[in-house]
Each structure stands twice: as structure tokens, then as C-alpha cells.
Amino acid sequence: RTPEWTDLAHRLFAGRGIAVAPPAPLAVGVEEFERLMAKTGHPVLAVVGFPPLPRTVVRPLVDPVPLSPVSLVWRRGLAHPALDAVRRAAAELAAEEGWLRRPENGWIPAIDVSVNSVQD
């Protein structure tokens, strides 16, 4: 739907013999999603928690497993108790849930690997 997601799909599927469909508009709601699927007939990359919809089949990608980098960003020098609390909570959850462990069959674009290695 956006150039960034289309680029990500191209990188993920490169060398795997999979053609990437052109970006489609955002489908809001079940009816709109069904209309878009009927019109294009293209498979859709979706997040793990994508809700079950009528007449659709959801299959997880497992080889490789695409990883989605998410960042917490703030202005350099910002000192605020709420920011400190959010940073602590994120660090605790990351440790508990293993957010920073890369699965053996995980895939992430090289550019994101280099960006994620930057610390404050």
C-alpha cells in the first residue's frame, strides 16, 4: 500500500520466484477488504494478528520469518519521567518476551539490521 511496504516485499521475495503485486489502497472493514480481494485477486501480506475473515485463508510465512523492526524514538536530551517509564517498560518487556532475540529462520533487510544496532 505504500512504497516502503512494497520495497520490503520486493526485498523479502527477491530470488524466490515470487512476483509482487502493485500496491493496493487501504481496505477498511471486512466488506471493503473482500471487495478489494475480489477485484485484484492478489494475496496480501498481513501482520501475525490479522483477523480471520470470511472466505480467506491465512498462512504464516515460516521460511524465512519476516521480522518487523519497531523503534522507540525521542528527541536527544529529552528528560521526562514518562519517557523514563516507557523506556524501562520497553526494556523489561523486550527482555521478558525475547524481542531482541533473532529467530534462526528470521529475515530482516540488511539496512534495518544496521539501523537496529545503533544505541543512544
pLDDT tens string 47-105: 778 888 888 888 888 888 888 777 888 999 999 999 999 999 999 999 999 888 888 88
27/25 Cα distance (integer angstroms) = 6
Domain parsing of the chain, residue ranges: 3-60, 66-116
Q: Which three cell numbers stand for residue 110?
A: 540488511
Q: What is the pLDDT of residues 1-56, one digit of tens each?
A: 577 778 888 898 888 898 888 877 888 888 888 888 888 888 887 777 888 888 88
118/106 Cα distance (integer angstroms) = 20
- The answer to whether 90 and 99 are in contact (CB under 8 A) is no
Q: Is 97 left (phi over 0), alpha (psi -120 to 50) or beta?
A: alpha
* Strand bridging mode 65-66 / 106-107: parallel
For residues 109-116, give the mean pLDDT.
76
| pTM for this predicted structure | 0.61
**Lookup result for grid cell 529529552:** 78
User: What's the chain's average pLDDT?
Assistant: 84
Helices (H), the chain: 3-13, 30-40, 81-97, 110-116
What's the pLDDT score for residue 56? 83
For residues 101-114, give the mean pLDDT.
83
SS3 at position 7: helix
